[in-house]
Structure 1
């Protein structure tokens, strides 16, 4: 059943660092202000919806966020010569301070942070709010602020840390140390856990929950190499009994099975069949938008990026000597000859724009299946498939990694096999001929393999590479262009360098 969408309401405050004094000084005398708003429960709910709208925007989850995370991983390659220049630059590691993806995600994240700060600060001073409503709104705002800061610190390192909302460029901050940003995220997520419910009714699905705060905090700890605290948070998610692996793997990526028991947090989009709002900050949308992902990625769409040959080769197959071909391969990608459009149409080479892939030594066209509407559509279109940000399979695989790092290899193997035993997957249990698990290093190799095939194309691989590279766990560098001392981090956007005197050229990341 399709979910309800939160109306964004009238207060979509829009200040981000990098704007001009002229923009800041233009006030509409007929518009609401923070002095006249936040007087009722309805207003605080409307304002928190505006924070969700910023995450849903083109700058973030509706477009540039998934591109940036994917292009910084080894899961994708160019679908053809039509890949736009800024995206091709990111894919090949020649992006610079003016790259539009770098600017879009940075701006989008700070837009979320600003709107969240408005909610948090005004909830604390308003006397007209019901205490429980205000507490939940602040919990949601802190979760969304933490998510944004995690995206920033993991990809840019130390970044300006705004703990309250700013009203002029005079409030522009210097880069905070990476450790300080992580500490702030941890504090936000601990507070969010205490304020958020475990579940919502059907009208409020998609809001941040206690489990989402716990899972995000586990991600944050793991990214810092703190596996002890990460395990504690993961155990909370597991012990809650709220989540489970669904039987059908594909149910995690289509429209009809959104908010299933495996979903921990997903970003809402309107039902397919509407229109796409190209506004970067989700301003001007009366009730939300679709995502352009299915059009960008699908075989009958623009097909701007496709699965990389290395990802396709990662799956276990009988052609490679494995005991079974992993069903997640065919559930993640389309191959020429597959049926789509409710099994009414056969996919041909001709309809798939662009390049071919090499699989088992053979050249063939492969396109993304995950998060695309091809399963029920015969034409290129934008769509309303919710973006699953966190799901329970990741929890189980993260617990496997924690257990392995903490010396419990047997427990790690048990968790790995839980994911493989999903009825629609039913892969042989570890150990296998190609994945022995007698040592800690062998178990880590199985974890890396399992995370890649299970979570492929879900914007997680980038964070995995960043974490394992930083911890010295990568046997080989996954990115062919990688230059040590440069490509660990993205460049601070040129607009921030130009407009924020507390950063300036001296505050740029190395190599840019």
Structure 2
């Protein structure tokens, strides 16, 4: 079921690449050690290099743990579930964080580690002999690295704004960069990377390569970035190519998108891979020094586990129910959340109040929970984290069509998502007289209930806020003029000689 392509085999290369004194390196050279000059020579080494970039996604400061915490707690979809969140996480949830917050620093570091590893591939793989690494494979590998670099930079620019732009391998402290002159400068790199990736990545992979970045993933990510900037005309053709490619479709059962047995299905454009095949070795320090194949998402959010984060009251209320006047209950509500009385462990157990810590009247997350087939999360999970789903592509297309053409053009795309959920379709007759604002409200609703808990909502709120499309500010504690951006980590300012306190984002 799993295709484990993310085993890190070149930690020594990354250690050398980040060294800062060439004289010392020369004096201590071990002819048996690999360096950037002696590596990247054949196909196996080139593939190992890009696999190491993917491995960065599994790190503790990204999808192993901290990435989902940061995005989920910045949105309005979550609240504290247990007795008390750890202080750094509680600060994020309540919007009382500053530049010393460890969670903000952790994700910043994880993203720049991805960029550094990507730069190594982009710079060195093209130098390999064409006989040992065929040009088409070189281009594909570089395309994968550029997709991953663009993914990291999009997170950085959408959360922090202007950031240091590293497009070459850093080998010494003097290689530190100041903040980019503008966000446009960062986006230029993102779009250039994703254009290259889309031109050089395949539509599909087979065998052990399944799970690598594809053309469709690059196009969908580029569309996300354009929509964050309000560039709907640029996003629409990219989404249309994904939709008309014939590669993707919605799977019949919504909840199967978040279970282990149905990974890499027709709805998935990109996933971060995990497995329990290696136990939980290295799980808490998922870096280049060990195996990092598990995620703690289930343990952190699980109803009979730590339950640190649970769905917010407003998210639960967003789902259509008969009790609130809808014609039927939205089945995605029961697929997204566990309630007291629900069954788990292959329907052999029932969730009771004694299983759950905190307020037992509130539901817990069901997405990405291993207990659908076992008693407990066991402090680890091998369920892949879905980064881009086809449902998101359809809803992005609906939003683009609504902006550019009008509500009627948006209906086929939003209704595909509702039809899979067996929810009543929006009638065509209703929308010729309706406004774009009414359709946008429908899209906002659909995105929230369909993509809840998938690290999407935070960025949606940020882009709609920038574009003046929020009817009201949904985030408690949000301060205008400050929380639009995260603070540049204090440790980064202290360690980067090209940054000073004057470079800090407003309000921090």
- Shorter-normalised TM-score: what interval? over 0.9
> How far did residue 270 of structure 1 move?
1.5
Aligned residue number for residue 358 of structure 2: 354
| Residue pair 1:11, 1:32 contacting (<8 A) in 2 also | no
* TM-align CA RMSD: 2.3
Aligned residue number for residue 359 of structure 1: none
Q: Is 1:226 aligned to 2:224, yes or no? A: no
Query: After the TM superposition, which residues 57-206 of structure 1 pair with which residues of structure 2 at under 5 Å, given as runs?
Result: 57-127=59-129, 128-176=132-180, 177-206=182-211
| Residue pair 1:57, 1:282 contacting (<8 A) in 2 also | yes
SS at match of 1:306: strand
The one of 260, 279, 284 equivalent to 1:274 is: 279
Q: Is 1:427 aligned to 2:431, yes or no? A: no
| Residue pair 1:272, 1:383 contacting (<8 A) in 2 also | no
Q: What is the rounded CA distance, in whole Å, between the counterparts of 2:463 and 2:223 in structure 1? A: 13
SS at match of 2:220: helix
| Residue pair 2:160, 2:486 contacting (<8 A) in 1 also | yes
Aligned residue number for residue 301 of structure 1: 305
| Residue pair 2:176, 2:498 contacting (<8 A) in 1 also | yes
SS at match of 1:400: helix
Query: After the TM superposition, which residues 221-260 of structure 1 pair with which residues of structure 2 at under 5 Å, given as runs?
Result: 221-260=226-265
Aligned residue number for residue 2 of structure 1: 2
Q: What is the rounded CA distance, in whole Å, between the counterparts of 2:70 and 2:258 in structure 1? A: 20
Aligned residue number for residue 361 of structure 1: none
C-alpha distance 354-208 of structure 1, shift in aligned 2 (>3 A)? same
| Residue pair 1:64, 1:104 contacting (<8 A) in 2 also | yes
Cα deviations by residue, 1:30-62 (Å, 9 ceiling, x for unpaired): 531101111111101001000000111111111
| Residue pair 1:394, 1:455 contacting (<8 A) in 2 also | yes
Q: Is 1:317 aligned to 2:314, yes or no? A: no
Aligned residue number for residue 468 of structure 2: 472
Aligned residue number for residue 416 of structure 1: 414
Q: What is the rounded CA distance, in whole Å, between the counterparts of 1:161 and 1:446 in structure 2? A: 37
> How far did residue 68 of structure 1 move?
0.5
Q: What is the rounded CA distance, in whole Å, between the counterparts of 1:464 and 1:385 in structure 2? A: 25
Q: What is the rounded CA distance, in whole Å, between the counterparts of 1:23 and 1:343 in structure 2? A: 61
> How far did residue 350 of structure 1 move?
1.6
| Residue pair 1:54, 1:111 contacting (<8 A) in 2 also | yes
Would you say how many aligned residue pairs link Structure 1 and Structure 2? 501
Which runs of no fewer than 5 residues in structure 1 stay unpaired? Answer: 357-363
Q: What is the rounded CA distance, in whole Å, between the counterparts of 1:486 and 1:259 in structure 2? A: 39
Q: What is the rounded CA distance, in whole Å, between the counterparts of 1:436 and 1:327 in structure 2? A: 29
Answer with 120-129 or 396-405: which moved more: 120-129
Aligned residue number for residue 443 of structure 1: 439
> How far did residue 134 of structure 1 move?
1.1
Q: What is the rounded CA distance, in whole Å, between the counterparts of 1:21 and 1:12 in structure 2? A: 15
> How far did residue 129 of structure 1 move?
2.6
Q: Where is the helix percentage greater, Structure 1 or Structure 2? A: 2
| Residue pair 2:59, 2:286 contacting (<8 A) in 1 also | yes
Which runs of no fewer than 5 residues in structure 2 stay unpaired? Answer: none
C-alpha distance 132-10 of structure 1, shift in aligned 2 (>3 A)? same
Q: What is the rounded CA distance, in whole Å, between the counterparts of 2:224 and 2:350 in structure 1? A: 40
| Residue pair 1:16, 1:110 contacting (<8 A) in 2 also | no
Answer with 117-126 or 341-350: which moved more: 117-126
| Residue pair 1:12, 1:47 contacting (<8 A) in 2 also | no
Q: What is the rounded CA distance, in whole Å, between the counterparts of 1:61 and 1:380 in structure 2? A: 17
The one of 359, 370, 375 equivalent to 2:372 is: 375
C-alpha distance 24-112 of structure 1, shift in aligned 2 (>3 A)? farther
Aligned residue number for residue 448 of structure 2: 452
| Residue pair 1:436, 1:443 contacting (<8 A) in 2 also | no
C-alpha distance 47-446 of structure 1, shift in aligned 2 (>3 A)? same
Aligned residue number for residue 45 of structure 1: 47
Cα deviations by residue, 1:111-169 (Å, 9 ceiling, x for unpaired): 00000000110123333532122111100000000000001000000101111111011
Aligned residue number for residue 387 of structure 1: 385
The one of 494, 501, 504 equivalent to 1:505 is: 501
Q: What is the rounded CA distance, in whole Å, between the counterparts of 2:73 and 2:415 in structure 1? A: 29
| Residue pair 2:6, 2:52 contacting (<8 A) in 1 also | no
Answer with 185-194 or 94-103: which moved more: 94-103
| Residue pair 1:430, 1:437 contacting (<8 A) in 2 also | no
SS at match of 2:138: helix
Aligned residue number for residue 495 of structure 1: 491
| Residue pair 1:11, 1:46 contacting (<8 A) in 2 also | no
Q: What is the rounded CA distance, in whole Å, between the counterparts of 2:433 and 2:448 in structure 1? A: 17
Answer with 79-88 or 466-475: which moved more: 79-88
C-alpha distance 67-95 of structure 1, shift in aligned 2 (>3 A)? same
Q: Is 1:36 aligned to 2:38, yes or no? A: yes
Aligned residue number for residue 360 of structure 1: none
**TM-score, normalised via structure 2 length:** 0.94
Answer with 3-12 or 290-299: which moved more: 3-12
C-alpha distance 20-202 of structure 1, shift in aligned 2 (>3 A)? closer
Q: Is 1:365 aligned to 2:362, yes or no? A: yes
> How far did residue 291 of structure 1 move?
0.7
SS at match of 1:389: strand
| Residue pair 1:5, 1:269 contacting (<8 A) in 2 also | no
C-alpha distance 438-269 of structure 1, shift in aligned 2 (>3 A)? same
SS at match of 2:448: helix
